[in-house]
Amino acid sequence: MNDTDLAFASIEEVARLFRKRKLSPVELTKLMLVRIEQLNPKLNAYITVTAELALAQAKKAESELFAPRGRKGHRDRGPLHGIPISLKDNIYTEGIRTTAGSKILRDFIPQHDADVVVLLKEAGAVILGKTNMHEFAYGVTSNNPHYGPAHNPWDVARIPGGSSGGSAAAVAAGLCFGSIGTDTGGSIRIPSALCGVVGVKPTFGRVSVRDVIPLSPHLDCVGPLARTSADAARLLDPIFVRGKGEPSLQSASKPSRVRRRFRLGLPKGFFSDVLSPEVAFTFERALRLLQESDGNLKEVSIPLLFETEDAGNQIAWAEATHSHQRAGWFPAHSEEYGEDVRTRLEVGAKVSATAYLRAMEVRYSFIEHFHAAMAGANVDALVVPTTPIPAPLIGEETTTVCGVSHPTRSLLLRLNRPANLGGLPAISVPCGFTPEGSPVGLQLIGAVTDEYLLLHIAKVFELASPRPPRPASAL
């Protein structure tokens, strides 16, 4: 296996090589650091690279895994032991600056780790660094005014999406084996779709957000980005709050478990109302693959979908501004924000209490109606596009779809807001490419606590799909 093949290997393949002692965590970490040094200048996926920490963690993992079994010092922490990953730069890391992509926090160095980082370290993961992002996670382009824009590995003139854009770019380009991002309105799934990787937004509350710089506390989620659903499951499993009797998420992708027939709902309207022709064509082709893989498709009606966009915006605007006011950043440091984020914080200051409370009422009603509709239709999950458009050019503020001009930000958020508003689990998986070579994402949305089922369906789809190519910029 050459270095490029190794950089794009699965976590399972690498873990197997470790345990056969055909590869060491130190060798793999050095390979990742070399690739970051070579490719990050054009992708700008990382804000901070923690080379010394990563090598120290890799040496520790190597000493534990390679010590003779049964002898003192031997320890196998599981599938992530010795695996190099990255973290979005709004997640606290002890002794490592955590900027949230902002000028305000450019010198902020937390004194402790976020809960998810503690759990990842216990699982033996190697932390390569902190990834670029939309400032304060408050946007979907990762066109960062303070640290420069993150670039899409499939076309560096295009955005990787956001706000976890650096994470998606790093995963897609083989600069880590997975990343942990955050999702408030699609910030894991949007960049996953635009960069051709897998992204999981878990059920609200299933992964701790403690010591993750908040955006909207009623919408914020933490989850993984990876190249396959199996890798995403391996990243999610150690940070995931599992209910009593629930199986390991990793077993959802085992071959013996991927033969179950499943029922998928196609929502009437909304998700299909505004789609670019190339996304619509690719999505329809993906639906045929699902049907050929024992997937039964059924049209369903989901109430209040059209209300989710405005309700999600009202909640996010108000809560984001409140969070920044509490932290003492806004309006005291208004001049240090990028223009787009400052403008949204100003909008949030004008959201009335009644508008916020009405939005919360819509949220509760949508949750209730969603689960009733899913149960009534007897479907396992919804299947919809992740974004209505492929990756726009950097700086492209409006996008034309079927002759109508739309704000690019609204288009990218549109199909992702429902899962955040409802606190629902959702996963984006690559489902093909446009004729121009831009990735397209397929999104599965389930009822609360249905992460296992979504990962299972995603694995079935991956088994039926052609093996995706690698971005030319990463070779």
The residue from 24, 142, 163, 253 that is catalytic is 163
Q: Nearest 5°: phi and psi at 299?
A: -75, 135
> In 10 A of CB 67, how many CB atoms?
14
| Structural element, H or E, at residue 115 | helix 115-122
The yes-or-no answer on residue 208 being catalytic is no
Q: What residues contact residue 394 under an 8 Å CB cut-off, 6+ apart?
A: 141, 143, 149, 151, 157, 158, 159
Rounded distance, CA 38 to CA 216, Å?
36
Is 187 labeled as catalytic in the residue annotation? Answer: yes
Across-strand partners of 401? 404
The one-letter amino acid at 454: L
In 214-359 the beta strands, taken as DSSP E runs, fall at 221-226, 262-267, 295-300
| DSSP string for 174-231 | TSSS-EEEEESSSTTHHHHHHHT-EEEEPPTTSB--TTB--S-TTT-EEEEEESSHHH
11 vs 226: CA distance, rounded Å: 9
- Active-site residue, selected from the candidate residues 60, 88, 201, 459: 88
**DSSP label at residue 440:** E
Q: Beta strand 426-433 with 262-267: parallel, antiparallel or unpaired?
A: unpaired
Interatomic CA distance for residues 457 and 9, integer angstroms: 22
CA 356/CA 312 separation, integer angstroms: 10
88 tagged catalytic: yes
CB atoms under 10 Å from CB of 247, counted, come to: 10
Which residues 6+ apart lie within 8 Å of 419 measured at CB?
189, 201, 425, 426, 443, 445
- Distance in angstroms (rounded) separating the CA atoms of residues 319 and 305: 21
Find the catalytic residue in 187, 192, 253, 465: 187
- What amino acid positions are annotated as catalytic residues? 88, 163, 187
